[in-house]
Amino acid sequence: MQIVFIGLPGAGKGTQAARIVEEYGIRHLSTGDMFRAAVAEGTPLGLKAKTFMDQGQLVPDDVTIGIVRETLAKPEYRKGFLLDGFPRTVPQAEALDDILASLSLALDHVIYLEVSRETLVERLTGRRVCRKCGASYHVAFRPPARAGVCDLCGGELYQRSDDSAETVGKRLDVNLRQVDALLDYYETKGLVRRVNGEAPIDEVYRQIQDVLRGRPQ
């Protein structure tokens, strides 16, 4: 199974992806998580990505496409994968088609998590992330049992540097400019399934399961 999640920053891609990949035994590929790991390790990729991420801008397509191409070629991705936050531009979507063709694969579903801008700002500014395992929490909508501590692994929770009030607005604007063209690209292929991402986490999950099981929405 090959799935793409499209959604603006804060739409719930990471939250839902964690549950889906667990249930279906497929790999989770988040380009944002990969860039953050590279930044934390101080690799050349990380140094390059950081300047764009800190400003809420997209990392250039050639860099992003390169790491996805490399990753998807790995044998552990043959059981299926969920792409979270890639593609984000039409050139990335075209490149993904080439990559999939070279691996004799095709996409099964493109799931769009629809959420209003107002909700997104609230979600992003209240998000906390586990430094150890990457799990996402929210101070109001999904608080951990113990403040500042991950329920899953006991790791420390922190606020992403791009979740500051100033950067959040920028990220939303930058991504809004891309998302319609990206949806058009996949609409013509008949792949887009829209999910109401505004609903509570469990309800969004049920909607996604319906899509994956081929149930009418």
Distance CA 31, CA 85 (A): 6
Q: Is residue 134 at the binding interface for Mg ion, with CB under 5 A as the rule? A: no
Query: Which residue lies nearer to ligand AP5 by CB, 104 or 217?
Result: 217
Q: Is residue 77 at the binding interface for ligand AP5, with CB under 6 A as the rule? A: no
CA 185 to each of CA 29, 69, 88, 147, 169: distance values in angstroms, whole numbers, following the listed order:
21, 20, 11, 42, 25
Query: Which residue lies nearer to Zn ion by CB, 15 or 64?
Result: 15
Please provide the distance, in angstroms rounded to a whole number, between the alpha carbons at the two ends of the chain.
20
Distance CA 215, CA 207 (A): 9
Work out how close the CB of 17 gets to ligand AP5 at its nearest, in angstroms, rounded to a whole number: 7
Q: Is residue 28 at the binding interface for ligand AP5, with CB under 6 A as the rule? A: no
The torsion region of residue 89 among left (phi > 0), alpha (psi -120 to 50) and beta comes to: beta
Of 10, 12, 14, 56, which lies in the binding site for Mg ion, with binding defined by CB under 5 A? 14
Of 32, 67, 112, 134, which lies in the binding site for ligand AP5, with binding defined by CB under 6 A? 32
Window 133 to 162, contacts with Zn ion (CB under 5 A): 133, 135, 150, 152-153, 155
Binding site for ligand AP5 (CB under 6 A): 7, 9-15, 30-32, 35, 52-53, 56-59, 64, 85-86, 88, 92, 123-124, 127, 136-138, 141-142, 162, 171, 199-201, 204
